[in-house]
Amino acid sequence: MRILSVVGARPNFMKLAPVDRELAKRPDVEHVIVHTGQHYDPEMSATFFEQLWIPAPDYHLDVGSGSHAQQTARVMQRLEPILTELHPDLVLVYGDVNSTVAAALTAAKLGLRVGHVEAGLRSRDWSMPEEINRIVTDRLSDVLFAPSRDALANLALEGIPAERVQFVGNIMIDALCWALPLAQELDAPARHGVAGGPYAVVTLHRPTNVDEPAVLRELCQALDRLGSEMAVLFPVHPRTRERLRALDTRRNGGGLRLLEPLGYVEMLSLVAGAELVITDSGGLQEETTFLGVPCLTVRANTERPVTCLHGTNRLVAPRWEAILAAAARARHGRSPARPVIERWDGRTAERIARVLCEGVRYDANEAEPSAGRPPRQSRRAVAIPQPATAG
Ligand code: UD1
């Protein structure tokens, strides 16, 4: 069986890694990896392949940056001849970036089967390009790998036949469980000089937060003020770096420290020990929930509601008073117990491989199929750092 995975942007790479590791165990599977090149800076791409032990891509499409239409079109044009030549049994796409929808569309038009890892998430905010990418990709997919029950409900509401949907759990947690021992060994808080004290980790890159100077200024004000209470480590996405430069205000004062984008393991190491995370990323909402670290998501909505309902995530408006008030509440309300979310257990890639290679079904209503599976040790990580005091 030939399975071809298409990835392109930073959040795709940690989803690919566990799937690739699992497929590599199966001698009857040839796993071909195509990198579209949507993200190309070494710290946005190559570092992730190295740290997550992903083999070098078999094909690199080198599409680079551009408008949404340009980026999507370039992926389609450059991917089509590869798919035509290799004619894979299944094209696997991940998440919700432009490379995802472009690959799904190209494959579907060639009559190839499409599998979507992280299907069914919905923010219901059509102004987000990712929402369009999710909906179109799911509509085109033959096998939809859902991370959570809300995703199953969204797909059912949209009329996607239940037999196409597999409730496999959250692939991000597989990557996290795999990397956590490495992250603890790395001890990034000590390397950044923040071990032992409270610190916040910040990532912001969504156009709604960084493209409008007034909003970005407000966010910077919040971070400056938070920096008077604790160290604030802010690895900066290239888009945000450009916008900050244009703002031309003083940065890196007080506790606020702007950093280059970090590799996966270093970021995980920092997040696991953080007092607080402030973000607009999708993956961090999930990672902080799994780790039990309070998270403020600077957005009006989330496609990952389970992280707010059962996890540590709270939505917050992009206003400095709102952010500081929410930060204080989150710090003082921190629970020492980590949330447990169904099938976020580090075994999602194994389930995906079983669906693809053995025809196993992961139904929403049934206990997991277990016949024939040898007993195995849980891959859930242990010894997750917790704050010294819980307020
Ligand atoms: C993309 C995804 C977003 C995801 C984010 C993670 C889409 C629509 N968006 O957004 O869902 O959360 O990745 O990072 O696919 N740039 C560089 N170097 C790079 C990549 C980008 O300098 O390696 C700069 C370029 O100026 C580029 C800008 O960042 O124009 C935006 O990159 P792009 O890939 O268009 O979208 P992201 O904002 O990264």
Question: With a 6 A CB cut-off, is 239 part of the ligand 1 pocket?
Answer: yes
Arithmetic mean of pLDDT, 132-136: 98
Query: 366 in a domain, yes or no?
Result: no
Calculate how far, in angstroms, residue 38's C-alpha sits from the geometric centre of ligand 1.
7
Query: 380 in a domain, yes or no?
Result: no
Instruction: For residue 334, count other CB atoms closer than 10 A to its CB.
Output: 18
Residues 79 and 13 in one domain: yes
Dist. CA 43–CA 45, nearest whole Å: 6
Residues 348 and 294 in one domain: no
Alpha helices in the chain (DSSP H): 10-24, 46-51, 68-86, 98-109, 129-140, 149-157, 171-186, 188-191, 207-210, 213-226, 238-247, 264-272, 283-291, 306-309, 320-332, 348-358
Calculate how far, in angstroms, residue 87's C-alpha sits from the geometric centre of ligand 1.
29
In one-letter notation, the amino acid at residue 233 is L
Find the domain containing 246 and state its range: 177-340
In 3D space, the residue among 118, 111, 128, 107 whose CA is nearest the CA of residue 155 turns out to be 118
Residues 305 and 322 in one domain: yes
pTM above 0.85, yes or no: yes
Question: With a 6 A CB cut-off, is 41 part of the ligand 1 pocket?
Answer: yes
Beta bridge partners of 313: 295
Nearest-5° angle of CA 236, CA 194, CA 221?
45
Residues 160 and 222 in one domain: no
Residue nearest to atom 29 of ligand 1 (CA): 239
Instruction: For residue 197, count other CB atoms closer than 10 A to its CB.
Output: 12
Q: Is the pLDDT of residue 376 over 80?
A: no
> 292: helix, coil or strand?
coil
In 3D space, the residue among 71, 59, 78, 145 whose CA is nearest the CA of residue 101 turns out to be 71
Question: With a 6 A CB cut-off, is 321 part of the ligand 1 pocket?
Answer: no
Of 6, 13, 48, 65, which is best to mutate to test ligand 1, by the most ligand atoms within 8 angstroms of its C-beta? 65
Nearest-5° angle of CA 286, CA 50, CA 343?
30
Query: 295 in a domain, yes or no?
Result: yes
Beta carbons of 312 and 289 less than 8 angstroms apart: yes
Give the tens place of pLDDT for each residue, 18-60: 999 999 999 999 999 999 999 999 999 999 999 999 999 999 9
Residues 25 and 164 in one domain: yes
* Per-residue confidence (pLDDT) for residue 322, from 0 to 100: 98
Give the tens place of pLDDT for each residue, 378-387: 333 434 444 4
* Per-residue confidence (pLDDT) for residue 254, from 0 to 100: 81
Residues 200 and 100 in one domain: no
Arithmetic mean of pLDDT, 353-373: 80
* Atom nearest to 205 CA in ligand 1: 38
* Atom nearest to 71 CA in ligand 1: 35
Instruction: For residue 327, count other CB atoms closer than 10 A to its CB.
Output: 23
* Per-residue confidence (pLDDT) for residue 251, from 0 to 100: 64
Q: What is the DSSP string of 305-366?
A: THHHHTSSEEE--S-HHHHHHHHHHHHHT--SSPP--TT-SS-HHHHHHHHHHH-----SSS
Q: Is the pLDDT of residue 124 over 90?
A: yes
> Using only C-alpha atoms, what is the Rg of the chain?
20
* Per-residue confidence (pLDDT) for residue 369, from 0 to 100: 66
Residues 72 and 189 in one domain: no
Query: 331 in a domain, yes or no?
Result: yes
Q: In percent, how much of the chain has pLDDT > 70?
A: 92
Arithmetic mean of pLDDT, 207-235: 96
Residues 125 and 181 in one domain: no
Question: With a 6 A CB cut-off, is 46 part of the ligand 1 pocket?
Answer: no
Residues 221 and 333 in one domain: yes
249: pLDDT confidence band, cut at 50, 70 and 90? low
Dist. CA 171–CA 50, nearest whole Å: 19
Give the tens place of pLDDT for each residue, 67-98: 999 999 999 999 999 999 999 999 999 999 99
142: pLDDT confidence band, cut at 50, 70 and 90? very high
Residues 226 and 114 in one domain: no
* Atom nearest to 282 CA in ligand 1: 12
Residues 335 and 347 in one domain: no
Dist. CA 48–CA 314, nearest whole Å: 28
- CATH for 93: 3.40.50.2000
How many structural domains compose the chain?
2
Query: 374 in a domain, yes or no?
Result: no
Residues 25 and 87 in one domain: yes
Query: 253 in a domain, yes or no?
Result: yes
Q: Is the pLDDT of residue 372 over 60?
A: no
Arithmetic mean of pLDDT, 256-283: 97
Beta bridge partners of 144: 116, 165
Dist. CA 337–CA 329, nearest whole Å: 17
